[in-house]
Chains A and B, each alone.
Chain A
Amino acid sequence: MSALYLLVLASIVVAGFFLMAFIWSVRSNQYEDKQGAAIRMLQDDEIKSIN
């Protein structure tokens, strides 16, 4: 049953990662402009001629 300690610890660490990811996404302004991102991802990058 001591495996339980490990499992509980692991589950909290994993959940903690998601919390950090959430905080990071808010902090990096990902919710600032929801419409813009949707349009931007559909725009092709220009084809650069490689010499």
Chain B
Amino acid sequence: MPTTEQERSTIIISKPIKKEATKCYHCGTDCITNTIAIEDKVFCCEGCKLVFEILNENGLCDYYNLQSHPGLSQIKPTRSDKFAYLDNEEIASRLYKFTDGNNTMVTFYIPGVHCASCMWLLEHMNKLDAGITESRLNFTNKEVTIRFQQQKISIRKIVELLTTIGYEPYISLDDAEQKKSKNYNKKLIYKLGVAGFCFGNIMLMSFPEYLSTDKGIENQYAFLFRILNLVLSLPVFFYSASEFFSSAWAGLKQKILNIDAPIVLALIITFSRSIYEIATNTGSGYLDSMSGIVFFMLVGRVVQERTYRSISFHRDYKSYFPIAVNVITKDGIVSKNLQDLQEKDIVELHNDEIIPADAIVVKGNARIDYSFVTGESEPVMIETGKQVYAGGKQTGEKITIQIVKPVAGSYLTSLWNHHSFSKNKIEKNNRDSIIHVMSKYFTIVLFVLAAATAIYWWMHDPSKILPSVSAMLIVACPCALLLAATYTNGNLLRLLSNNGLYLRDATIIEQLGDVSHIVFDKTGTLTQGSKQFHSSGHQMTETEKSWIYNIASHSQHPYSKALVKFLGAYPIITAEKWEEHTGKGLYAEVAGNIIKIGSAAFTGVELENENNKPALYIRINDKITAFYITTEFRDDIPQMIPVLHNRYGLSLLSGDNDRQRERLEGIFGQSSKLLFEQKPIDKLQYIEQLQTKGEKVLMMGDGLNDAGALQQSNVGITLADDINNFTPSCDAILDARKFGKFPALLRLAHSGRYIIYFSFFISILYNIVGLSISMQGKMSPMIAAILMPVSTLTIVLVTTGLGSVIAKRLHLSLKTS
């Protein structure tokens, strides 16, 4: 249905009642007026009041008892036809997890979930509508799973209901495509459980034999325990250890000798020798040590595979783009799947909506915010008939555009066709990892030694070839190396995440430690949302400032927020009239004065100087004040950059123009390279160039425009003000508040390699002890059973201890903040 009305939200406020600021009963925001109220409960806006009314009608007011002001501010209204595309059964059916035509299950990601009240309300959805049979929230993943009956309620209604009560689900193209379940590796947990069970019982069964006197325990019992041990070790060898078998086999198929290959060899030899000993009744074998080592290695894997389920590292442009768009056809407006969008389609675009494909503006004032694509922070005005590019966001009124290129062929999305996106970074990181390189040499040395031993015994006593060589291969298993690496990485992952750096997987630690060059993006990375203002023109009095403060504090626009921050705090006063004209400015009447805040055209000011354009004008009756914005660097930047400069090469790539070149040169120094007006593909190619020179590049960016560079770099880090926000695909996410710790975090990652070296050195000492005992022919299963856990324990203690000591010396916090 075409809307003719202007896109604007109007909140008119009248008559003051009380001077002090009251907090909104629903969301806790300071109320500008007390008129929006039900009995003694005051609300900041009609939206919040509406939510309360809905909950009150349905007897769900417990919501407010669990936590005070649990709601989310409803001041920004949602367009009524925003979710119209869900009426399109073809689109909707792609969101269903299950459906039998009536009973349907669907899961939504709801970013707003934050407290116990949220959970309570979302799990009582069935009280809001009879069509909903059950709803359950996964708090960790912020996902609500809803079962409903299609005959009673449509999916669109459910989404709209969620939106009305303040929990707008985030639906993107990604949801519609085959989504991998975010489940942690359950199989690994089962394997660990089985290995633990068998290991414990085998140990128990082995005790009688170890603790018996020289005569040995009575033969019948010895045999019983050995058989039981053998039975218990079967699941360990064939099920739990399959993890290592498949990994070793995968490596061998690619002609790579990874660390799992020698481990598998040692496991096979230990297992077959144990069977042989038990079968011939010559000994009890080493089944306890074998299951123990499998168990400890699996623990290491689990520790290392720690994942952050609420954070996603694999987003591409599809996560940003809407699932469907409104296309104008002869038969009116239809929702169309993004993939079905064709050239010459006419698309309607509302405020804050993203241009799905390269297009030409047909109608309306296009004011496009390209910060996603280029990093340029100021929106640009595009005339009718000119081209706009996919990824831009319309700000202001509704526009109509005509598509000129399909979604996949658009300027921004074509970046994903670049060959760097087809590479599998994880696999490559894994292959280059030091433990695989070390284990390769280890294996070669071991084979040479084994061959030498075999030749020696062949000349002296051929019957001893098999026992001596097998004993050697059992003792010299490089599992200590694997243990050292997994426990070190697991501990470092934990320490890094406690300090705000979340890695996608453990292979990144090593890459992070090897970095030689750091490339920064400017907008959003070095600079941040809060900007510095200075004014010219009419100098406002304190009273006038308090008016402006009160007017601006009720707008969600970034400029209004910045203006409020600049002015400071003023007591609450009440406006006679307050209107927000989206994309233009604010209009208010206070104490008989007409006040306008906004663009030159809105406030009726003539533009004088094109070069130094004020961000906005304030007009109080006839007095005009111009406000300028200068982007501020994050607080830590001036101290941090010189520190990094001592150890790494630095570059800066900005999509913005070179307004701030001089300031940046002051911070970065002369030897760093600063490049401006860089397109996404330029950034990617710059990183490629550095890499051909042999540099290991760390890219730090924040937006979709950095996606190519993040992918191409050895380590791509996204800086995020809110880690649950939408970040482009990357290797790691850094919490922007912890940016100052970044140099220390890099050093911690760098130390990981030395921790592995050191603990490996210790394990070699154990190996030497073990080998010397076995060479003297004194290696008994009991000594093996003691040495194995003791050496494992030492490695666990050394790796975790060293990591924590280093973190402490770098002034990093050891616990979650």
Taking each of A5, A34, A35, which has the highest tally of chain B beta carbons within 10 Å of its own beta carbon?
A: A35
Give chain A interface residues in 1-47, CB to chain B under 8 Å.
Answer: 1, 4-5, 8, 11-12, 15-16, 18-19, 22-23, 26-27, 31-36, 39-40, 42-43, 46
Q: Which residues of B contact A22 (CB under 8 A)?
A: 193, 197
Q: Given the known A-B contacts A23-B190, A26-B193, are A42 and B116 also in contact in the complex, defined by CB atoms under 8 Å?
A: yes
Out of A8, A11, A12, A36, name the residue touching B139 (CB < 8 Å). Answer: A36
How many angstroms from the CA of A31 to the CA of B218 in the assembled complex? 45
B224 lies within 8 A of A26 (CB): no
**Smallest Cβ distance from A5 to chain B, in angstroms?**
7
Q: Which residues of A contact B119 (CB under 8 A)?
A: 36, 39-40, 43
B201 lies within 8 A of A33 (CB): no
Out of A1, A5, A26, A42, name the residue touching B189 (CB < 8 Å). Answer: A26
Taking each of A4, A36, A40, which has the highest tally of chain B beta carbons within 10 Å of its own beta carbon?
A: A36
A35 lies within 8 A of B140 (CB): yes
Q: Given the known A-B contacts A12-B201, A23-B193, A26-B186, are A33 and B66 also in contact in the complex, defined by CB atoms under 8 Å?
A: no
B194 lies within 8 A of A39 (CB): no
B221 lies within 8 A of A43 (CB): no
Taking each of A11, A12, A27, which has the highest tally of chain B beta carbons within 10 Å of its own beta carbon?
A: A12
Q: Which residues of B contact A18 (CB under 8 A)?
A: 197
How many angstroms from the CA of A36 to the CA of B62 in the assembled complex? 18
Q: What sequence of 0s and 1s flags, for each residue 119-132 of chain B, a beta carbon within 8 Å of any chain A beta carbon?
A: 11001000000000
A33 lies within 8 A of B194 (CB): no
Q: How many A-B residue pairs have CB under 8 A?
A: 56
B138 lies within 8 A of A36 (CB): yes
Q: Given the known A-B contacts A8-B228, A26-B189, are A33 and B138 also in contact in the complex, defined by CB atoms under 8 Å?
A: yes
Asked whether B137 is an interface residue with its Cβ less than 8 Å from the other chain, the reply is: yes
**Smallest Cβ distance from B55 to chain A, in angstroms?**
14
**Smallest Cβ distance from A11 to chain B, in angstroms?**
7
Out of B116, B183, B204, B224, name the residue touching A43 (CB < 8 Å). Answer: B116
Out of B138, B224, B228, name the residue touching A32 (CB < 8 Å). Answer: B138
Q: Which residues of A contact B205 (CB under 8 A)?
A: 8
Q: Given the known A-B contacts A26-B193, A32-B138, A35-B140, are A43 and B201 also in contact in the complex, defined by CB atoms under 8 Å?
A: no
A5 lies within 8 A of B224 (CB): yes
Out of A5, A12, A43, name the residue touching B120 (CB < 8 Å). Answer: A43
A36 lies within 8 A of B137 (CB): yes
**Smallest Cβ distance from B179 to chain A, in angstroms?**
16
Q: Which residues of A contact B197 (CB under 8 A)?
A: 15-16, 18-19, 22
Q: Which residues of A contact B228 (CB under 8 A)?
A: 8, 12
**Smallest Cβ distance from A23 to chain B, in angstroms?**
6
A19 lies within 8 A of B193 (CB): yes
B140 lies within 8 A of A34 (CB): yes
Nearest CB to that of A22 among chain B residues?
A: B193
Nearest CB to that of A18 among chain B residues?
A: B197
Q: Which residues of B contact A19 (CB under 8 A)?
A: 193-194, 197
Q: Given the known A-B contacts A23-B190, A46-B62, are A33 and B140 also in contact in the complex, defined by CB atoms under 8 Å?
A: yes
Q: What sequence of 0s and 1s flags, for each residue 196-213 of chain B, a beta carbon within 8 Å of any chain A beta carbon?
A: 010011001100000000
Q: Given the known A-B contacts A15-B201, A43-B120, are A33 and B139 also in contact in the complex, defined by CB atoms under 8 Å?
A: yes
How many angstroms from the CA of A19 to the CA of B218 in the assembled complex? 31
Q: Given the known A-B contacts A11-B204, A46-B62, are A39 and B190 also in contact in the complex, defined by CB atoms under 8 Å?
A: no
How many angstroms from the CA of A31 to the CA of B188 in the assembled complex? 13
A–B pairs, 5, beta carbons within 8 Å: A12-B201, A23-B193, A31-B189, A32-B183, A40-B119
Q: Which 10 A-B pairs have the closest CB atoms?
A: A36-B139, A19-B197, A33-B138, A35-B139, A33-B140, A22-B193, A39-B116, A35-B140, A26-B189, A39-B119
